Amino acid sequence: MITQEIFSRFLTSDGRHIKKMSKAKPLTSKEAFFNILKAWSMVMRKDGIEDAEIGQEATGNTAVLWLTLGGKKYYLNGDTRLHGVREFLKNKDNPWVVIPNLNGVRNKVVNTPEHKPVEGFFLYLEH
């Protein structure tokens, strides 16, 4: 369910970006994670999730959203793009699979049926 609370709590005032979340206070459900992504994708037409004007310079690998599930921590990087979010949401009912990232570290989370990376979507398992 997308509520006004999601918009005000997790999106910047203009709705263009997702507010950076504290690692110490992560989301605790996939439903909340998907609802935030869905809310953002409903109002955004281009650009990335991270607002470079808030906090530090956009590095691409700044964790913006944190999620804890089953004792494991996941984070979504700020260089995630709208097309990636939409593709990930299309596959939301599929299981999450951890595959090697571009550096060979097994921490990239995907949800495609063929376990291939979603272009423009950067969700990782923290080690």
Q: What was the pLDDT predicted at 46?
A: 56
The residue with greater pLDDT, 93 or 48, is: 93
**Mean pLDDT value of segment 37-54:** 69
Is the pLDDT at 112 greater than 90, yes or no?
yes
Q: So where are the chain's domains?
A: 4-125
List Cα–Cα distances, 43 to 13, 54, 68, 94, 100, in angstroms.
12, 19, 26, 25, 32
Asked whether 11 and 43 are in contact (CB, 8 A), the reply is yes
In terms of phi and psi (left: phi > 0; alpha: psi -120 to 50; beta: otherwise), the region of 104 is: left
Strand 123-125 and strand 72-77: pairing? antiparallel
The rounded radius of gyration (Å) of the Cα atoms in the chain is 14
pTM of the model: 0.86
Going by pLDDT thresholds of 50, 70 and 90, the confidence category of residue 54 is very low
Is the pLDDT at 10 greater than 50, yes or no?
yes
Going by pLDDT thresholds of 50, 70 and 90, the confidence category of residue 53 is very low
Query: What is the rounded distance in angstroms from the CA atom of residue 81 to the CA atom of residue 92?
Result: 16
Q: What was the pLDDT predicted at 32?
A: 94
Q: CB-based contacts of 48: which residues, under 8 Å, 6+ apart?
A: 17, 58, 78, 79, 80, 81, 82
Going by pLDDT thresholds of 50, 70 and 90, the confidence category of residue 45 is low
